[in-house]
Structure 1
Amino acid sequence: MHAGEQEAFALQHVPAGGIPTIWSQGETLRHLDDTVASWRSWCELHQSYRGPGDELVHHSGRVLQALTFQPTGAIVAAPTTSLPEEVGGVRNWDYRYAWVRDASLTLDALWVAACPDEAEAFFRWMAQAAARASGYCHDLQIMFGIRGERDLSERELPHLPGWRGSRPVRVGNTAWQQRQLDVYGELLSAA
């Protein structure tokens, strides 16, 4: 490539056995333009907060929107897995889940950032996930997958080197099995 030239590419997730869609340069650029236009439209509709720290509030709203799994309204704690607490360390957890403890704080932030639709969708999703997961003699689970999954069993991926050699790389999070009674209060606070 030379100065002033551009090349577009797109990544996509294709389920096993699926056939990927191959986009031309023009189609890829149109999709990118659509994405930019969608974000600008979302900001115009949802970023009406005016007050102390308004730029920070607007930025926080955009981050929460980016962490949202649109089909369900679930909001993940982080979009990554296995980033170490310290380089080379083994405390590398998968946080790509929606945590009940985070729900009340997330909902407060969405309301302040003028995102009532997102707040309603997230609470509805969280309440449904919690209702499906609870029952007689069962504790409320502390976290759920973005589609409401309850079994978030952890496994290591030894073939991956991890960020800056930090191993293990993990998918799943065994914390889902922890008993934490404060989540009942957090869910009530979210309501």
Structure 2
Amino acid sequence: MDHNEARQAITDIFEAAKLSEIKKICKNATITEDAFSDFVMLCDAGILPWVHHISWRDFLPPNLAWTDEDSKRLGNIDNGPLTREATKAMRKWYQLLNERRYLVGHVFYLRDHSNWQFFYFDNRDLWAYANHFKGGPHIHLINHLWPNRTLEGVWNEFREGNPEMNGAEHIRFHRENPRPPQL
């Protein structure tokens, strides 16, 4: 994955003047985790004019809340068959991981709010398999070019409850594999 192409895609998104441009950019772009992280760091350091905020939270089904009793049921798992209690706890753990929703949102805006960008994803969006987007792992984008959307409205919708951010564009997202330390 070309890091410079991913950086350029981010720049193109932030500079787009029409929603049709955004749609075209998003259709063809892949943003890498490293390029996105670099952009966040440059904003947070004050090198770029964008203000950046992040919000995240977990949505866990109440019936799957992990308890101390569940942990005790697992105990010290050794090789060999699991006990009935440990099997029940393991099933609950895997179901919790499957149904959990970890939601992350990044907002970038100029101080006068004339230009803002909101990127968001949940843990399922980053899955390589069983993804709702045919392009695979992805993030979503809504920005100042969306009709009837405001920075405050989008940010509040995201932060309050479980948002339904209809109409967002999908952007392919590539997470680089960590490199082994150089000896």
Structure with the larger strand share: 2
Length-normalised TM-score, structure 2: 0.25
TM-score (norm 1): 0.25
Q: Relative contact order (alpha carbons < 8 A, sep ≥ 6): 1 or 2 greater?
A: 2
